[in-house]
Chains A and B, each alone.
Chain A
Amino acid sequence: MGLREKLDLYGISRRDFLKFCSAVSATLALPPAMAPKVAEALESDNRPPVIWLEFQSCSGDSESLLRSGRPEVGELVLDIISLDYAEVLMAAAGHQAEEAKNKSMEENKGKYILVVEGAIPQDEDGVYCCIAGDSALNHLEKAAEGAAMIIAVGNCACYGGIPAGYPNPTGAVGVADLVKGVPVVNVPGCPMNCDNLTGLIVHYLLFGKLPALDANLRPHFAFGKRIHDNCERRAHFDAGQFVEQWGDEGHRDGWCLYKMGCKGPQSWHNCPTLRWNDGLSWPVMAGHGCVGCSEPGFLDTMAPFYGRLPNVPGFGVESTATSVGLKIMGAAAVIFGAHGIVSIIRNRGTVKKVEEGLYESEDK
């Protein structure tokens, strides 16, 4: 079935669809003229099958999918990507669900997109997360083998997230720490912003390859800039206007939250421009500092959340904010080193090899 029939099926007008394509183009930082190309890519009948696995998660990313900013199109995307397995959404369960998954993996070997939500516990052969009597470790290994690529959604699947917080009781790690030989893209955040997942999939359909990634395997289009650089409160930072107490005049007037512990200067994410729930708001907009939830090493490198970042003066921001960021990355390296986590991702033609030396050099 072509896209036009699908649009009719969902009662979506051509105009609404093009509006969606424009929004996706903007997310991907493409010129508006690209919107028809996006539409064209989506209209092709080349729907990648998707298997969505859930491990040590809170289902926050599945819920984020359900809150997709453009409801009708959210459904459309589900259908475009042929969701063959997803525990929170599917009616089938137990062996029938397992069968559906296995069948799709077999029939679409080398072609399906594997989405992973939640961390994977390694200790004691993975007994800390079992589904259908088997461990997350085994489920991931089997599903990764035939995947065209893996999209890790949310900070747990990307870097271990909350379960990997010190002392990491179950030996939780992210997907890229385990999988070899398959391209992995990280869409971190706690939870991930669904618009970024949509943007990534559209990019893939549009260009036939993955977008440029940073050293932490995050797409540049979403994670290429610091929160601090796009923050609507940035001018107050530069002017030295800071919130000193919750509810004070500066807080009510939208002054900078740095002194209340904001981690914007060391966090790379498009929260300030993309925002959440249909672009309604984001944490800093609602008066709370950024906690850096999409950074590797979160939460240990970001907590305590209300502790002020070291050495960020009111002026001369550029160099200082960068150096703070680098220091924190150094701290992340220590923690990763302590857990013995080193990412080994091999190129399958679409993803650049991870620059493993990065953490080490920052550490030194």
Chain B
Amino acid sequence: MAERIVVDPITRIEGHLRIEAKVEDGKIVDAWSSSTMFRGIEKILQGRDPRDAWYITQRFCGVCTTVHAIASIRSVENAVGMKVPYNAEMIRNLIMGMQYVQDHVIHFYHLHALDWVDIVSALSADPKKTAQLQQSVSDWKYSSEDYFKSVKDKLTAFAKTGRLGPFGNAYWGHSAYKLPPEANLMAAAHYLQALEVQKEIIKVHAVLGSKNPHPQTFLVGGMSIPCDPNSQNAINADKIAMIQQYIQTAKEFVEKVYIPDIIAVAPFYLDWGGIGACNGNYLSYGEFPEGRDGFPNNLWLPAGIIKGGDLSKVHPVDQEKITEDVVHSWFEDTGPRHPYKGETDKKYTGPKPPYEYLDVEDKYSFVKSPRYDGEAMEVGPLSRMLVAYASGHKEVVDTVNYVLNTLNVGPEALFSTLGRTAARAIETLLTVNKLDGWLMDLANNINSGDYAIQDTSKWSPDDWPKTAQGYGWHEAPRGALGHWIVIEDKAIKNYQAVVPSTWNAGPRDADGKSGPYELSLIGTPVADPEQPLEILRTIHSFDPCLACAVHVYDEKDKLRSKVKVL
């Protein structure tokens, strides 16, 4: 007998997302993904100064802050033909790189770990054994028996208050939790440590960009943080030393905690290497310009497309082949449109709130359905790592192979929920090790007497063509991000953003083809429909920027019972 599970809201993500899933014989056989929030920022952008767009679009998301700023700025630079100075490229690399590291650390420890780690079980751990476990996986400084005893005591005292705060009311004790108490205690300690570390390392954004969230030092054509070794008000030796220290802190945590944790936890969940695959299509725009050619040349992580899980061939990306469907989205039906011609005219046809269910046969989301050459694409760290792996990128190949060998699994295990989580960790390690190099490139360039931070020749829109259009790509932590802009008479005529969560969370298209969230859930086991922990594991593995809720009803669409959700 089939039953349908509805999850709303899924917490520990950004935004408002809802999943409805059909369960048969303990497995998901179909799923629908819906976002239930709309602001219309594309409309708000129309008629405004294109140089302001980065600020406004950065507010698409306050978690993956900086990413829309970069994509937006690149779209204007592409449209009017600006050449970004080397200093600005390196400052952007540092900002983007630290965004990867900090965002991934937060995701793993604070948004995803509780899907795998049973905090309550940690209360019965033996601190001595936990210390042995910690020491066996890395030489991280917090590894003594006393330390873990103090963490356990804190957690125990915390539990005794009866007020569990953010840990309250979850699925503790669920049969899908597999870690021994000692590993749970180690992970709980790292959850608390990561909370501090993420605040500390993101200070790189404050030094280079005034604040975080939402740094404010971007400019179309460059950056507004000046470079001058002889000024207190610019990037000088003192600020470079500060940045270096934050990078060191990040590096130590990633190498000694994050990576060892993944290696230690993954063996207990190897079955998740066979769950959560999509259609095998992966898209990456590539990122981190190196050398003097500027973006989009000489990218450290390559652009490319993998089709149907075939790692023997990487296809080039052609932006002309990108379209967005709205047949199942709450917008005026326009047929598939390229983003330059895209429209965002809302047309809500869903149920009047409060409601129990959406009409998934008709329109059911504010997210559009992006397609590449008519196909749904998964984007994110897994896509980046797979495209780089299949391209023969040495650092990526070596690290991915190391992880696969350590876990004793083949590359096919990457097409999964576990693969997504592992790829994110691998990418964090590779990225944190790049930061020093970019910082030194910046320092050396400043030292050579080059203080330029912006292409000032085209700052004034008076020097722009009467009409122009351009696109800006950025491989954001959550995946391929593209902004498309059409400029007329110095103002924005049309603006469309195709964001990572649109690629991943989109509903069905005109042909009835599902998006990655929907596809990845098919085949996922659900041990207890009242506690669909497994849905959260797979959805969280994408690091979604949306939020959802769960109800259960039978095949006649009648509400059977309310499902408890983690």
Contacts and interface: CB of A to CB of B under 8 A. Distances in A.
Contact of A56 (B14, B39, B454): B39
Contact of B210 (A129, A132, A283): A283
B166 interface: yes
A181 interface: no
Contact of B7 (A93, A162, A299): A93
Interface stretch (B57-65, B283-291, B416-424, B503-511): B57-65
Interface stretch (A33-41, A77-85, A105-113, A216-224): A77-85
Interface string A41-71: 0000000000000011111111110111001
Interface stretch (A23-31, A94-102, A206-214, A345-353): A94-102
* A: interface residue count bin: 35 or more
Interface string A239-257: 0000001110001111000
Contact of A133 (B60, B168, B202, B353): B353
A129 B16 CA distance: 8
Contacts of A168: 44
B86 to A, nearest CB: 13
A94 B7 contact: yes
Contacts of B549: 93-95, 131-133
Contacts of A90: 11-12, 166, 168-169
Interface stretch (B46-54, B180-188, B256-264): B46-54
A170 interface: yes
A285 B210 contact: yes
Contacts of B51: 304-306
Contacts of A203: none
B490 to A, nearest CB: 10
B526 interface: no
B212 A277 contact: yes
Contacts of A97: 9, 11, 169, 565
A75 interface: yes
A254 to B, nearest CB: 3
A362 interface: no
B170 interface: yes
Interface stretch (A120-128, A322-330, A335-343): A120-128
Contact of A58 (B14, B206, B217, B566): B14
Interface string B353-388: 111100000000010000000000000000000000
B199 interface: yes
State the main secondary structure of chain B at its contact with A: loop
B14 A246 contact: no
B163 interface: yes
A121 B37 CA distance: 10
B52 A304 contact: yes
A9 B16 contact: no
B140 interface: no
A280 B203 contact: yes
Interface residues of B, number: 105
A306 B56 contact: no
Contact of B206 (A162, A190, A251, A277): A277
B37 A129 contact: yes
Interface in A181-228: 190-191
Contacts, number: 316
Residue among A89, A119, A169 having the largest count of chain B Cβ atoms under 10 Å: A169
Interface in A278-304: 278, 280-288, 291, 299, 303-304
Contact of B211 (A9, A58, A276, A305): A276
B451 A252 contact: yes
B348 interface: yes
Contact of B224 (A170, A253, A286, A303): A286
Interface string A1-36: 100010001110000000000000000000000000
Interface string B27-49: 00000000011111101100011
Given A59-B14, A130-B353, A287 B226 contact: yes
Contacts of A129: 16, 36-38
B524 to A, nearest CB: 17
Contacts of B348: 124, 127-128
Interface stretch (B153-161, B299-307, B405-413, B475-483): B153-161
A95 B3 CA distance: 18
A304 B48 contact: yes
A304 to B, nearest CB: 4
Interface in B510-546: 536
Contacts of B13: 88
B459 interface: yes
Interface stretch (B123-131, B229-237, B432-440): B229-237
Nearest to A277: B206
A246 B454 contact: yes
Contact of A299 (B56, B158, B551): B56
29 contacts: A57-B62, A66-B106, A66-B195, A87-B11, A91-B170, A94-B563, A99-B169, A127-B348, A130-B37, A133-B8, A161-B59, A167-B44, A245-B459, A246-B219, A246-B226, A246-B459, A247-B227, A247-B454, A277-B205, A280-B207, A283-B217, A284-B210, A285-B210, A286-B225, A287-B217, A287-B224, A288-B210, A288-B219, A291-B216
Given A66-B199, A254-B231, A303-B49, 4 more contacts: A58-B60, A71-B200, A163-B40, A191-B214
